Structure 1
């Protein structure tokens, strides 16, 4: 993990991003996506824009005929992330994912990354969170059904596991835990569970080729300055020589995966694995507690200027997920030879 974070923090992060995009483009080439149309929702999110940029590199390097579509809401964010030259090769669809897609839009493949991700938003806007998750995947599945789409990948989350029992072995895709339905924050984890069930239902009833990628936390070259997940907060503190402040005891295990590895998996799943199946996307070597991650970042990246301190409020005002001893297994992905970490 230290090597990956060094790469993420390096002064040549733009060069690392170019290297990652070239590597992913080669994966796309090996799995043959020429003469097709691909929709990436959440085009301005981390994984969405990396998927699109990887496709553009694939298109340019291998001279393949692929029509790239990106769904986004904010024109300013689109222009901030993509250059004018890149936008010439992207068909941007401006709309909210909760609205149905036009019947005129047809795609061979869809990777659905659009999703709310901010913990505080889960607490303040739980209805909107549920609507975005459920209506978003419902609209994608309906469009895919009408279009005769060859493959849909839905990005779920490790938060569907919620509170699991600690055990010596790692948690497979079937080892789901307890969700507190009286907790407002459960709007996210329960919404994701419902979305996964809806995907499986479309496979069962309509034979729609949908596969589910259940993601660990992702980080790597390309993360935006506005990123607010804990690893980014820790790294910013280390960069500026500030203390890393934890608002919990940091006992939860964090499961992580490097962005380029995740993107490779997302471009493999449309054509590999059983329809309706769920796959953990995680690097098992990167499972550490939040406190351990904070201590490692402070030690490795702050030149001794940062230390870890605890400032724990009486109420969960920051919207953090409950403590969990979740240690995700990547055995299904590796066992199916879909990807090697």
Structure 2
């Protein structure tokens, strides 16, 4: 059950933030939930979807609800690393170089259409995503805390785009695929477009979000669930271990060990959002596709047979034994 399934007024700060964002966002419950999971788990998120699905509006509304600073960078082929990280600028009156910090120094960074920039610019985000710092010249600068990178990419264009390097993709905790709204949801979208835009109230501040992150860190994860996450990651590398040897020809490289870590951390944050002090198997299975789909390197045979990462992962999940955690707390 997701947060949107719970009736009544919002109670905790997490529910209040989501309730506030829903003033401007219709549908997209999975995206909003995973955005908050990424925030609480200190991860980053890659969103894939066609234009016009409110991806940018979702991040901007979330930034307003948590009172954080929001920057948007439109990635283009002529972008250079200094445009996003910052650079040293010569100050003539003093005769010294001063550091001008780039837009990555924010709480929520939207890297719009990240696959439009060349690999040199994409790789410039590696340090700031992993280490949460930027090195300019000989000086290292920390980015604000909390810090979330949400990158978007358009799946329907093939000209003028640069595929993300595997090392870059692996830094994203989740990849969320956003689809079209239903007819009812789209009706509400059009109806709201005819009225003045809703004003998002600040529910919490970045300092409060850091406290929520610490509380999410205290959610209990049973060792059997950690073993389940590890088994799932291993099954993507060797499908035969899950009794699915016929899938081996479709997978060139399976998920990295970072996927196991990300899945457990994300499941812990999701359990906190759903009001529990412990993780259940459904928290892992609900997030498995989002955490793992972008970490599989498929073979040409998979492309020719139209076998996607989601198809492979769904079969593996259906074939694995779901553990029954012994404890519901410490």
TM-score by length of 1: 0.29
More helix, by proportion: 2
Greater radius of gyration (CA): 2
